[in-house]
Amino acid sequence: MSKTNKILKGFAGLILFLVLMLSACTANDQDNPGQRVSKANGIKDEDRVKLNFTYWGSQDEKLAIEYACKKFMDKNPDIAINPIQIPNAQYNQKMVSLAAGNDSPDIGYMTGDLGEAWANEGRFVNFLPLLEKDSEYKKEDFLDNIWYQLSPENVWGISTAAECFGLYYNKELLKAAGIDSLPSKAEDAMDWDSFVRLAKKLTLDSKGRNAENPEFDAANIRQYGVMFETWEEPINNMIFSNGGEWISPDGKRFTLNSTESSEAIQKLADLINKHHVAPSPFAAKSLPSMNVALQAKLTAMAIGGQWMNLDLGNAKVNYDIGVLPKLKKSVTVGLSGATVLFKSSKHPEEAWKFFKWLSNPESSIELYSSGLWMPTMKKWYTDTNLVAKWVDANPSAHPAGFKDAMMNQLLRNGVPQPLYYMKNSSKIVPVVVSELDPVWMGKKTAAEALRVIEEKVRPEFKGRYDVR
């Protein structure tokens, strides 16, 4: 997923570069990228192997993906890539529709829930035999927590990119409160009480009083201390930090209804309903996205995913990243959608070749230097020369705290999202998310909600996949 030999300095430069390159490609021809390259290389279009590649993402990501495809075709003029962008919210529906019409792509992004179901139906190519016989890549080259698999012998998907969570903060708002920076290293992570005190100090009402002031008006907050989202992965950071788990190690029990998980979820809910330093899901509906809220100074901090760096860097926000606060141990949840190869493809070797291109940051470095993705290959975290290509190349999207709070934290203290290993996740995750809504609204305690969740999940719980 990378592009040029020169590292552009900032996402604005990236977009301009991509637009110019794509404009040059389309100036005299309005057909698809595969046809353009075909003509440029003097190869008849009908003689080329054609691959359909489905993906989701923003318009900026679309430009980057299309340019990555063009670069691949420049190097491989006998292969034509047809990139098909599908909106996130419609992705699964569209994939089901394509499959019903026997028109599945050759390679594409895949969600964990639909992917699990289709993997059990045998629709995807197993990556392990491909890696075992490949002369360039081996399984050991990749990070440990990026594999979607049914068993130790069957990997049906590999994370499209590595992603994790950190504590974003607006440097100007912290400076106004007399704070220069937040800790970025795991060993220096704030304990929860320290984090709550900080969030109170940074939460201001309409008259400028912070949440530590006895006269603080919680009904009229103009600046929150922190924002966080309530889908399963953000809250898992604290659940796992407190020693909680969704599934027992032997895979026989659903264990989210535990003291450890209950404590962690309640602490998060208390940020909203007890300490009044974070907006409720209802209040958050009237606020912009977290990265925009951070930029607009509506929140001083945000527990957010690595992908926020793209927009924050592009907007030149004066921000930094700290390591997440900890309960019992310092962790960050590793997550990502999968990239899969479809067994129905008539060109499996070419699809594998394209997958390798996408997985190698050398091919499209801007997808990483822009802040959108983190690499899935280990050496891009440990080789200082390679780190310089994607992290140091763009300080706007990788501020000072990024290396320790995200890059090194994922490598050393990353824990995988349950979707990587939990069976029947498409039935379990929605129950958990919906039944926790009353907790965020202050209508139930975490302990009460988890008891209901356990009852509802029990008929759907099938255990965990053996991913040793």
pLDDT of the residue at 466: 80
Contacts of residue 375, Cβ cutoff 8 Å, sequence gap at least 6: 161, 162, 361, 368, 381, 390
User: Residues 45, 52: contact at Cβ < 8 Å?
Assistant: no
The predicted structure's pLDDT at residue 137:
93
Query: What confidence score (pLDDT) does residue 12 get?
Result: 43
Tens digit of pLDDT for each residue in 146-163? 999 999 999 999 999 999
Q: Assign residue 431 a region: left if phi > 0, alpha if psi is -120 to 50, beta otherwise?
A: alpha
Tokens representing 253? 């029990």
Q: Check residue 19 and give its pLDDT.
A: 42
pLDDT in tens, 166-199: 999 999 999 999 999 999 999 999 999 999 999 9
Q: What is the mean pLDDT of residues 54-71?
A: 86
Greater confidence (353 vs 26) lies with: 353
User: Three-state SS for 4?
Assistant: coil
Question: Domain residues of the chain, as ranges?
Answer: 11-162+336-398, 165-334
Phi/psi-derived region of residue 170, left when phi > 0, alpha when psi is between -120 and 50, beta in every other case:
beta
At 218 the pLDDT is 96
Question: For position 10, what pLDDT does the model report?
Answer: 42
Quote the mean pLDDT of the chain.
Answer: 90
Q: Which one-letter DSSP state was computed for residue 8?
A: P
Q: Do domains 11-162+336-398 and 165-334 have the same CATH topology?
A: yes
Token pair of 368, please? Answer: 């990483």
Supply the pLDDT for residue 11.
Answer: 41
Query: What CA–CA distance (Å, rounded) separates 139 from 359?
Result: 12
171 contact partners, CB below 8 Å, separation of at least 6: 181, 318, 319, 320
pLDDT at 41: 59
Residues 260 and 464: their CA atoms lie apart, in Å, by 20
Pairing of strands 165-170, 299-305: antiparallel
The contacts of residue 167 (CB under 8 Å, 6+ apart) are: 182, 301, 302, 303, 321, 322, 323, 324, 325, 405
For 140-153, b/e burial (b = at least 16 CB within 10 A) is eebbebbbbbbeee
pLDDT > 90? residue 467: no
> Using one digit for the tens of pLDDT, what is the confidence trace for 246-269?
999 899 999 999 999 999 999 999
Cβ-proximal residues to 200 (8 Å cutoff; 6+ apart), any chain: 210, 211, 212, 225, 275, 277
What are the beta bridge partners of residue 321?
A: 168
List pLDDT tens digits, range 213-239: 999 999 999 999 999 999 999 999 999
- What is the percent of the chain with per-residue pLDDT over 70, rounded to a whole number? 91
**Where does 11-162+336-398 sit in CATH, by number?**
3.40.190.10
Read off φ and ψ for residue 362, nearest 5 degrees.
Answer: -60, -30
Q: What integer pLDDT is reported at residue 32 of this predicted model?
A: 53
Q: pTM, whole model, 2 decimals?
A: 0.88
Q: Which two three-digit tokens encode residue 104?
A: 């599945």
Q: How far apart are CA 299 and CA 278, in angstroms?
A: 8
Q: What would the mean pLDDT of 436-447 be, rounded to a whole number?
A: 97
Q: Which residue, 60, 72, 59, 50, is CA-closest to 359?
A: 72
pLDDT at 9 over 70: no
Q: Rounded mean pLDDT of 433-448? A: 97
Residue 28 has pLDDT above 50, yes or no: no
User: In CATH, what class is 165-334?
Assistant: alpha beta
d(CA 400, CA 389): 15
Kindly compute the dihedral angle of the four CA atoms of residues 402, 149, 58, 228, in this order, to the nearest 10 degrees: -50
Answer yes or no: is pLDDT of 15 > 70.
no
Q: What is the pLDDT of residue 46?
A: 77
Take residue 349 and report the two structure tokens written for it: 């070797």
CB 349 within 8 A of CB 170: no
Residues 6+ apart with CB under 8 A from 242: 260, 261, 263, 264, 327, 328
Residue 179 and residue 300 in contact, taking contact as beta carbons nearer than 8 Å: no
Residue 37 has pLDDT above 60, yes or no: no
